[in-house]
A and B are shown apart, each in its own frame.
Chain A
Amino acid sequence: RKEVEQDPGPFNVPEGATVAFNCTYSNSASQSFFWYRQDCRKEPKLLMSVYSSGNEDGRFTAQLNRASQYISLLIRDSKLSDSATYLCAVTAPFYNQGGKLIFGQGTELSVKP
């Protein structure tokens, strides 16, 4: 079983749709959680950190469920510019491992007109 798993998609949605991605992680001691966005042939860029209380940034909402060991990303009112691959990342559970990130495979989103 992979340490971090995502549905690779692709998710094909119309503009204006709401889309949700889930990501599960296997190590219950994991401490920090992130969503990155990666455009085609570009580097990953941090979209948002995920906090226990949940957090929102405009049309994007991230949630963490420690009991079930998954994080989610909700995108409301999808735009064409949201088309990208969304990577979830979980840090290694021990600080002395230098905050190593473990990534899921990524979920591809394609927003159509």
Chain B
Amino acid sequence: DAGITQSPRHKVTETGTPVTLRCHQTENHRYMYWYRQDPGHGLRLIHYSYGVKDTDKGEVSDGYSVSRSKTEDFLLTLESATSSQTSVYFCAISDEGGPSDTQYFGPGTRLTVL
């Protein structure tokens, strides 16, 4: 299995509070991704990174920001959590990020916003 960890694995928070999720990889892969998974929507890309300090938006980026100061860490921040951000968040990594490159997923973080 690819060396990807996510923390925390579960979190319950209140509306309006900031939340930061961490993805850590030991594979030295260049590309890192944050997805959310919701019933009826499948997995949707929030943000991705193609290198240290290089990030871009995905299809559902509103309300989220990211940072990548080291190759191994990719942080996802909910500036002011809302109930609509209750979801399961998956981090993924890929080596080259090309169209045929495999993405490997972390174990996920279950976030509940009350």
User: Chain A interface (Cβ within 8 Å of chain B)?
Assistant: 4, 31-32, 34, 41-46, 49, 87, 91-93, 95, 98-106
- CB neighbours (8 Å) of A87 from chain B are 42-43
Q: CB within 8 A of A44: which of B41, B43, B97?
A: B43
CB distance B106 to A101 under 8 Å?
no
Give the number of chain B interface residues (Cβ < 8 Å). Answer: 28
Nearest A-chain residue to B49, judged by Cβ: A98
Please, which residue of chain B has its CB at the minimum distance from the CB of A98? B97
A105–B42 CB distance below 8 A: yes
**Do A99 and B105 form a contact, CB below 8 Å, given A31-B99, A32-B99, A49-B100?**
no
Q: Are B43 and A103 in contact, CB atoms less than 8 angstroms apart?
A: yes
Q: Let me know if B56 and A98 touch, CB within 8 A.
A: yes
- A residues in contact with B50, CB < 8 Å: 98
Whether A105 contacts B41 in the complex (CB less than 8 A), given A31-B100, A44-B90, A99-B31, comes out as: yes
State whether A32 touches B100 (Cβ < 8 A). yes
Q: Given the complex of chains A and B, what is the CA–CA distance between A64 and B106 in angstroms?
A: 28
How distant is the Cα of A23 from the Cα of B44 in the complex, in angstroms?
17
Contacts of B98 in A (CB 8 A): 95, 99
B102: CB under 8 A from chain A? yes
A32 cross-chain contacts in B, Cβ below 8 A:
99-100
Beta-carbon contact of B105 and A44 below 8 Å? yes
Query: Would you mind naming 21 contact pairs between A and B with Cβ atoms under 8 Å apart?
Result: A31-B99, A32-B99, A41-B108, A42-B108, A43-B105, A45-B105, A46-B104, A49-B100, A87-B43, A95-B98, A95-B99, A99-B94, A99-B100, A99-B101, A100-B45, A100-B58, A101-B33, A101-B43, A101-B103, A103-B43, A105-B42
- Which has the most chain A C-beta neighbours within 10 Å: B33, B43, B90? B43
CB contacts (< 8 Å) of B44 on chain A: these are 103
A106 to B56, CA, bound (A): 26
Query: Across the interface, which residues of B come within 8 angstroms of A105, CB to CB?
Result: 40-42
A98 near B31 with CB under 8 A, answer yes
Contact bitstring B33-60, A, C-beta under 8 A = 1, else 0:
1000000111111001010000010100
Closest Cβ of chain B to A33, distance in Å, is 9
